[in-house]
A and B are shown apart, each in its own frame.
Chain A
Amino acid sequence: MNRVATGESRSLARPDPLGLALFAVGAVALAGLPFVVFKMNRIVPGVPLDFGAALPSRLAVPCLLVCALSAAAAVAGRSAWLRLVTALGGLAAVAAAAAAAADRLTPPGNLVFRIAPGAGCWLLLACAALLAVDAAMQLRPGPIARVLGLVICLGATGMAFSRGVFDDLSIMREYAVHAHRFAAEALRHLELAFGSLAAAVAFALPLGLMCHRLPSLRAPTLSLLNVVQTIPSIALFGILMAPLAALSAAVPLAAKLGIEGIGAAPAVVALFLYSLLPIVANTALGLQRVSPAAIEAARGMGLTEGQILRGIELPLALPAILAGIRIVLIQNIGLTTIAALIGAGGLGTFVFQGIGQTAIDLVLLGALPTVALAVASGVLLDALIESIDRSRA
């Protein structure tokens, strides 16, 4: 089959094509694209500044050196560890350079000027991150190592933010304005995403089991849930507002429980509905894939139906069920952003406010943490699924 060139087998004479490609992109980004964008305030279009104009040479040179080092390692380096470390170094150097440029370009005490990372900066960050991911993958980290890597990355980033390293960058300026709401909205985002997930798991697992046990139930259930998935999210959020408002008006208890037409209730219900299909389908599929011989043998040895379900079927279907939960969790984190449109809160509030005010930094303040949240959830659940698979392999 395909011969995959690994870090070990490559010779110095032959440069790594991936490293070369990313180096080329990085070089173009550094030389030809704006590193930061300088704006007089948060809304007006800005003035692009390239790397040389943004930074004094005493800061630019060390940053360039680190970048050159990681590029050299990427193109010619044999050791994956070397490439990982230098790529992470490059990532940190570019981020630090952006922060330094913002610090330098902002007069002390000025809270109106905005210095945003430019296309060149984002592209450089992306190249360094790709190099790091590629090198890390060649080390074939196990699930625990991956989670550890995630924790270290998040910890380092969090530390940099809490130390105020990036405080002069436009996104953090926007954060400073909205700081009093940020934590609450982030928490609300998590509540909506995970709350609806928990409800969906509690309902979809038994439903998936029923679909497996009663084959006649399976096709209609899955078709119905499939149709639910095709309804656009903003429409489903909107459609649910009316009946919940009616419920709240008609049943005092419902109103007391906080069920209203606007806000969290329709969001949770819609997220719950979207969550059903992946979990139900994966549960039924996972149960269906359990070897019939194993179940027959279990029954023949005198396990009760409950013991077979708990001891054989569910453990064997668990990776498939978790894969369904992974899909749902990531989907929910994304969809919760849209729930802000119906007043449910969450990080989407910043995204839509930003769109409304054409304030890009505010959009990013909502979007970037959402992406980070989704990616982190994906890594965690992947690691969990793989560790279960590994324990059997």
Chain B
Amino acid sequence: MARVGAALKFAALAALATFLVVPQRFASLFAPLNPSGAPPIYDQGNLLALALAHLGIVCLAAVASAVVAVTLGILVTRDRGARFLPLSRTLVGFGQTFPPVAVLALAVPLVGFGEKPTLIALFAYGLLPVFENTVAGLKAVPAEPLDAARGMGMSASERLRSVELPLALPMILEGVRLSVVINVGTATIGSTVAAKGLGEVIIAGLLSNNDAFVLQGGLATGLIAVLLYEAIGVLERRVCRTSRIA
């Protein structure tokens, strides 16, 4: 079962890479969708470049939001930041009820069209799961090892670095994983405000009634999301193994 799953994932990765590099090979596959003779493969830009731009924007936002969210998560779980914990938790819950399009649309008046509003929306949206999981992970660290660490004379920052963060790391990574997958999809909406990415392909398809374009953009994005999800999962398992957490 596991071997079949691995083979399937490898096949998906190979198919995605081939499609992005030499999309014309797949023309016959998509041709039946456009009987009217419209181009079966997206021809208004380089698919690989779009995919890389898409990935780049998602990764940039993910790194930024992970750094900020983990820092905030650490701050509100310290004694000094405890006053901010309840409100920040409520804010995160509240933030998750914001529709992604609304975040995107509200960012446009601040920074104009292009990559920037998309980046802001992805950043803001990515904060939420990472922050939530960081707080949950740090709160879930059992009292005994912390007590032992204090008993051994570790300072607060040593405890954080060598006990709390390693124990909370799987949860934090799970948050990053979730936020990346959501953002791969949300980034396609960014193309409505003129950000570069695979959303362009879908929008072009919607505008010219070309189902082949819509399908290509959708499948490529979906595959990227699934593969990123799996990749971060592998990373997570490796981290769990080295820190010996089941």
A and B touch in the complex (CB under 8 A): yes
Q: Are the C-beta atoms of A235 and B105 separated by less than 8 Å?
A: no
Q: Are the C-beta atoms of A18 and B83 separated by less than 8 Å?
A: yes
A-B contact pairs, 26 of them (CB 8 A): A2-B77, A2-B82, A2-B85, A18-B83, A18-B84, A133-B91, A227-B222, A230-B225, A234-B189, A235-B219, A236-B218, A238-B206, A241-B214, A338-B189, A341-B192, A352-B192, A355-B108, A360-B109, A363-B105, A363-B106, A363-B108, A367-B99, A370-B99, A371-B102, A374-B97, A378-B97
Closest to B82 in A: A2
Q: Which of B61-69, B197-205, B238-246 contacts its partner?
A: B197-205
Q: Are the C-beta atoms of A235 and B192 separated by less than 8 Å?
A: no
Q: Are the C-beta atoms of A4 and B83 separated by less than 8 Å?
A: yes
In the complex, whether A351 has a CB less than 8 A from a CB of chain B is yes
Q: Are the C-beta atoms of A235 and B214 separated by less than 8 Å?
A: yes
On chain A, the residues within 8 Å of B206 by CB distance are: 234, 238, 341-342
In the complex, whether A159 has a CB less than 8 A from a CB of chain B is no
On chain A, the residues within 8 Å of B109 by CB distance are: 360, 363-364
Given contacts A134-B86, A241-B211, A334-B100, contact A234 B105 (CB under 8 A): no
Closest to A366 in B: B105
Closest to B109 in A: A360
Closest to A223 in B: B5
- Bound Cα distance from A234 to B219, whole angstroms: 12
Given contacts A335-B99, A363-B109, contact A238 B189 (CB under 8 A): no
- Bound Cα distance from A238 to B189, whole angstroms: 13
Closest to A219 in B: B1
Find residues 126-159 in chain A having any chain B CB closer than 8 Å to their own CB: 130, 133-134, 137-138
- Bound Cα distance from A5 to B81, whole angstroms: 10
Closest to B93 in A: A378
Q: Are the C-beta atoms of B217 and A367 separated by less than 8 Å?
A: no
On chain A, the residues within 8 Å of B222 by CB distance are: 227, 230-232, 235
Supplied contacts A230-B185, A235-B221, 6 more A-B pairs, CB within 8 Å = A18-B87, A137-B90, A233-B185, A234-B188, A239-B215, A371-B102
In the complex, whether A337 has a CB less than 8 A from a CB of chain B is yes
Q: Which of A3, A17, A367 has the most CB of B within 10 A?
A: A367
Interface size class of A (residues with CB under 8 A): 35 or more
Please encode chain B, from 90 to 116, with 1 for each CB lying within 8 Å of some chain A CB and 0 for all others: 110110111111100110111001000
In the complex, whether B57 has a CB less than 8 A from a CB of chain A is no
- Bound Cα distance from A335 to B205, whole angstroms: 19
In the complex, whether B144 has a CB less than 8 A from a CB of chain A is no
Closest to B210 in A: A238
Q: Which of A21, A330, A368, A371 has the most CB of B within 10 A?
A: A371
On chain B, the residues within 8 Å of A364 by CB distance are: 105-106, 109
On chain B, the residues within 8 Å of A230 by CB distance are: 181, 184-185, 221-222, 225-226, 229
Q: Which of B83, B94, B106, B109 has the most CB of A within 10 A?
A: B83
In the complex, whether B33 has a CB less than 8 A from a CB of chain A is yes
Q: How far is the CB of B134 from chain A (nearest CB, A)?
A: 15
On chain B, the residues within 8 Å of A231 by CB distance are: 185, 218-219, 221-222
In the complex, whether A26 has a CB less than 8 A from a CB of chain B is no
- Bound Cα distance from A247 to B101, whole angstroms: 30
Q: Are the C-beta atoms of B102 and A367 separated by less than 8 Å?
A: yes
Find residues 108-128 in chain A having any chain B CB closer than 8 Å to their own CB: 119
- Bound Cα distance from A7 to B83, whole angstroms: 10
Q: Are the C-beta atoms of B202 and A235 separated by less than 8 Å?
A: yes
In the complex, whether B53 has a CB less than 8 A from a CB of chain A is no
Interchain residue pairs A-B with the least CB separation, the first 4: A235-B218, A334-B99, A238-B214, A230-B225
In the complex, whether A168 has a CB less than 8 A from a CB of chain B is no
Q: Which of B202, B215, B221 has the most CB of A within 10 A?
A: B202
Q: Are the C-beta atoms of B86 and A235 separated by less than 8 Å?
A: no
Closest to B205 in A: A238
- Bound Cα distance from A378 to B113, whole angstroms: 30
- Bound Cα distance from A151 to B97, whole angstroms: 18
In the complex, whether B13 has a CB less than 8 A from a CB of chain A is no
In the complex, whether A187 has a CB less than 8 A from a CB of chain B is no
Q: Are the C-beta atoms of A232 and B218 separated by less than 8 Å?
A: yes
Q: Are the C-beta atoms of B91 and A130 separated by less than 8 Å?
A: yes
On chain A, the residues within 8 Å of B202 by CB distance are: 232, 234-235, 238
- Bound Cα distance from A378 to B86, whole angstroms: 17
